[in-house]
């Protein structure tokens, strides 16, 4: 089997993430990683907190903590939430790790040796009130392209245009709010992306056609606009230091590398963290990795340029055999009623609060069933409730409960034997095999909404089978036929538990634990097994699990809409 390397865009250390961050990178990566493991692949799923840069310093300052302590606490807080969402990272690291520092500095030295880094004197914004040069994100102002009045000096969050601080209209310090800014000369390191343009273009030409249109179009748009040399150092106290053995003057001035230079390298750094903790071989995944390693990245669309242009340029320019991405799965944005999630305005659901309201499986399934793949998608409470109530509570949860409850009532706590399979069971087996093939195909293609639709169709097939066979009627005239129907339906329940695990791992485990199957270590179901529907033999003991998914009530919706904003339909 192929070795599958999976990374999701690093969540920034500053604050708890909202549902849009979850669905745009980490959750689909987890669904895919779980699926691949179930299919027998060797999977390494890596993520980390992105801890450097201006917002970390500002957040630490606001919290009254040293930045290192702030980041350590915030990392633990985020990790606890991701554990709550059942994200199955093989390692969740930190970009401030010694491993990332060492690898980042080494790649920078290699770029310097190969002529792709240049020291330049530039004119940079200096805040008189703060007594310091201001990194890009320490400067806020109005975007000259879209008019957004809270644009940062490196990128406008509203229109996603990459900016220089001097592009901003009415700029001001993000530290003090002072507009008393001057432009003074200082020195920084520049990555000469212009010299790597042809290599990046050739690399994207060889790989980009396989990517989703969203990812490939953004990458090619950047290439069409032309790759500009980019400053990769900043005036900050917190970050990967410029190594003194290569740039002694800049090191003495306290320069650190730009967060977007070291953050992608942390994918490698976190893998090395994993290897140091487990005894694994990080180099076989990243350095001179053979053709059996397939690397898939997950990210929201605003992260695409850095992952498809800047990071590949960095690795190409190092002239070292670093593994580069094979497939970029990019997502559009999840909005809240068409607008942005906002902590300050108390709009939207953030991941910590989501877990306080409902268990993770509710959110996991809803987000994947409505993933913003082809376009932006909008969270509304009514759509959330409709998805949970119809798909999870009725189609799956009710099926499991009524089948097992009725079978126990009529035939006891073991799977009944009943009559041999008939035409209805044969037809059902063929249908399940076809739906399984569709489900696998969509997951293989990383089409998560379509995969959720295929999973829902599998659940619906069981309900349709019960509607046709009607065991509650059969039991009155043909108990053997009713027992056959229930035996078949119980086998469907076990199949659902196995196949649903990537989307709803907790419920899937609860269902599997209902069966007294010794050594039930099955990870997937073959097409032939799906047709036969006989993996749970007659005589197997079972229990009726508690309600898997409670319905969301109108009272719930009213309370949540009032608390988090939005409008009822």
User: Which pairing describes strands 293-300 and 256-257: parallel, antiparallel, or unpaired?
Assistant: unpaired
Do 215 and 280 fall within a single domain? no
- pLDDT tens-digit profile of 310-344? 999 999 999 999 999 999 999 999 999 988 876 55
DSSP secondary structure string for all residues of 299-338: EEGGGHHIIIIIHHHHHHHHTS-B---SEEEEE-PEEETT
- pLDDT tens-digit profile of 86-104? 999 999 999 999 999 999 9
Q: Does the structure show a pLDDT above 90 at 161?
A: no
Do 421 and 291 fall within a single domain? no
Question: Where a domain ends, among 354, 377, 400?
Answer: 377
**What average pLDDT score do residues 425-437 get?**
98
Provide the residue range defining the domain that includes 314: 3-106+260-377
User: Residue 336 has what pLDDT?
Assistant: 92
Do 390 and 526 fall within a single domain? yes
What distance in Å separates the CA atoms of residue 73 and residue 85, rounded to the nearest whole number? 19
Q: Does the structure show a pLDDT above 90 at 123?
A: no
Do 392 and 522 fall within a single domain? yes
Q: Per the domain annotation, does 25 fall within a domain?
A: yes
Q: Per the domain annotation, does 549 fall within a domain?
A: no
| Band of residue 132 on the pLDDT scale cut at 50, 70, 90 | confident
Do 12 and 152 fall within a single domain? no
Q: Per the domain annotation, does 225 fall within a domain?
A: yes
The domain spanning residue 348 has which CATH number? 3.40.50.620
**What average pLDDT score do residues 397-404 get?**
98
- pLDDT tens-digit profile of 247-267? 999 999 999 999 999 999 999
**Selection from 172-181, 385-394, 514-523 with the highest mean pLDDT:** 385-394
User: Residue 62 has what pLDDT?
Assistant: 87
The domain spanning residue 124 has which CATH number? 2.170.220.10
| Band of residue 135 on the pLDDT scale cut at 50, 70, 90 | confident
Q: Does the structure show a pLDDT above 70 at 345?
A: no
User: Which pairing describes strands 42-49 and 91-94: parallel, antiparallel, or unpaired?
Assistant: parallel
Do 270 and 236 fall within a single domain? no
Do 7 and 92 fall within a single domain? yes
User: Residue 525 has what pLDDT?
Assistant: 97
Q: Per the domain annotation, does 566 fall within a domain?
A: no
User: Residue 346 has what pLDDT?
Assistant: 63
Do 387 and 372 fall within a single domain? no
| Band of residue 108 on the pLDDT scale cut at 50, 70, 90 | very high
What distance in Å separates the CA atoms of residue 502 and residue 36, rounded to the nearest whole number? 9
Q: Which two tokens stand for residue 532?
A: 């036969």
Do 362 and 442 fall within a single domain? no
Question: Where a domain ends, among 324, 353, 377?
Answer: 377
**Domain count of the fold of the chain:** 3
- pLDDT tens-digit profile of 509-557? 999 999 999 888 899 999 999 999 999 999 999 999 999 999 999 999 9
- Where is 188: in which H helix or E strand? strand 181-191
Q: Per the domain annotation, does 554 fall within a domain?
A: no
Do 350 and 426 fall within a single domain? no
The domain spanning residue 430 has which CATH number? 1.10.730.10
Angle at 438 between CA 454 and CA 525, to 5 degrees: 95
Q: How many CB atoms lie within 10 A of CB 398?
A: 16
- pLDDT tens-digit profile of 459-478? 999 999 999 999 999 999 99
Is 146 assigned to a binding site?
yes
User: Residue 183 has what pLDDT?
Assistant: 87
Helical residues (DSSP H) of 114-245, grouped into ranges: 197-207, 213-225
Q: Per the domain annotation, does 418 fall within a domain?
A: yes
Do 149 and 226 fall within a single domain? yes
The phi and psi torsions of 122 (rounded to 5 degrees) equal -130, 165
Do 182 and 44 fall within a single domain? no
Question: Where a domain ends, among 343, 377, 411?
Answer: 377
Q: Per the domain annotation, does 84 fall within a domain?
A: yes
What distance in Å separates the CA atoms of residue 268 and residue 323, rounded to the nearest whole number? 9
Q: Does the structure show a pLDDT above 60 at 568?
A: no
Is 71 assigned to a binding site?
no
Residue ranges with strand state E in 112-180: 117-127, 132-133, 139-142, 151-152, 169-173
Is 143 assigned to a binding site?
yes
- Where is 47: in which H helix or E strand? strand 42-49
User: Residue 364 has what pLDDT?
Assistant: 98
**What average pLDDT score do residues 379-403 get?**
97
CA distances for 425 relative to 386, 416, 430, angstroms: 31, 15, 9
Q: Per the domain annotation, does 324 fall within a domain?
A: yes
Q: Does the structure show a pLDDT above 90 at 107?
A: yes
């Amino acid at each position: 089997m192929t070795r599958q390397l999976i990374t999701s865009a690093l969540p920034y250390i500053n604050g708890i993430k909202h549902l849009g961050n979850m669905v745009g990178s980490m959750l689909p990566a987890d669904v895919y990683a779980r699926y691949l493991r179930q299919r027998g692949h060797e999977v390494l799923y890596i993520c980390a907190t992105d801890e450097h840069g201006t917002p970390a310093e500002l957040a630490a300052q606001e919290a009254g903590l040293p930045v290192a302590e702030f980041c350590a606490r915030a990392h633990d807080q985020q990790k606890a939430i991701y554990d709550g969402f059942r994200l199955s990272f093989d390692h969740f690291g930190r970009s401030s790790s010694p491993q990332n520092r060492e690898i980042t500095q080494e790649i920078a030295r290699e770029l310097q040796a190969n002529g792709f880094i240049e020291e330049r004197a530039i004119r940079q914004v200096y805040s008189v009130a703060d007594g310091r040069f201001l990194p890009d994100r320490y400067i806020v102002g109005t975007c000259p392209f879209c008019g957004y009045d809270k644009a940062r000096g490196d990128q406008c969050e509203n229109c996603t245009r990459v900016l220089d601080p001097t592009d901003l209209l009415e700029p001001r310090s993000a530290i003090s709010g002072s507009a008393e800014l001057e432009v003074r000369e200082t020195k920084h390191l520049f990555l000469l992306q212009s010299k790597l343009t042809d290599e990046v273009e050739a690399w994207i030409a060889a790989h980009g056609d396989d990517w989703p249109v969203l990812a490939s179009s953004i990458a090619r748009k950047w290439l069409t606009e032309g790759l500009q040399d980019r400053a990769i150092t900043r005036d900050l106290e917190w970050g990967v230091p410029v190594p003194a053995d290569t740039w002694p003057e800049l090191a003495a001035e306290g320069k650190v590398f730009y967060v977007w230079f070291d953050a992608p390298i942390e994918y490698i750094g976190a893998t090395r963290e994993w290897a140091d903790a487990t005894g694994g071989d990080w180099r076989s995944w990243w350095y001179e990795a053979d053709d059996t390693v397939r690397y898939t990245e997950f990210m929201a669309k605003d992260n695409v340029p850095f992952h498809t242009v800047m990071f590949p340029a960095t690795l190409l320019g190092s002239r070292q055999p670093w593994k580069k991405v094979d497939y970029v799965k990019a997502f559009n944005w999840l909005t809240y009623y068409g607008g942005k999630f906002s902590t300050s305005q108390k709009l939207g659901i953030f991941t910590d609060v989501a877990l306080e309201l409902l268990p993770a499986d509710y959110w996991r399934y809803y987000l994947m069933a409505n993933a913003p793949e082809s376009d932006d998608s909008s969270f509304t409470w009514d759509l959330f409730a409709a998805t949970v109530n119809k798909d999870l509570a009725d189609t799956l949860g009710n099926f499991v409960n009524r089948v097992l409850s009725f079978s126990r009532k009529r035939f006891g706590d073991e799977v009944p034997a009943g009559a041999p399979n008939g035409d209805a069971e044969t037809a059902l087996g063929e249908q399940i095999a076809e739906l399984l093939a569709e489900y696998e195909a969509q997951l293989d293609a990383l089409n998560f909404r379509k995969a959720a639709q295929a999973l829902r169709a599998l659940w619906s097939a069981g309900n349709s089978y019960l509607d046709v066979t009607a065991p509650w009627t059969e039991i009155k005239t043909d108990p053997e036929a009713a027992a056959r129907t229930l035996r078949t339906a119980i086998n469907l329940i076990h199949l659902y538990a196995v196949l649903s695990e990537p989307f709803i791992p907790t419920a899937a485990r609860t269902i599997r634990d209902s069966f007294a199957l010794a050594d039930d270590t099955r990870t997937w179901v073959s097409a032939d097994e799906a047709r036969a529907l006989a993996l749970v033999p007659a005589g197997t003991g079972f229990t009726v699990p508690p309600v898997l998914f409670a319905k969301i009530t109108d009272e719930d919706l009213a309370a949540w809409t009032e608390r988090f904003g939005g409008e009822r339909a």
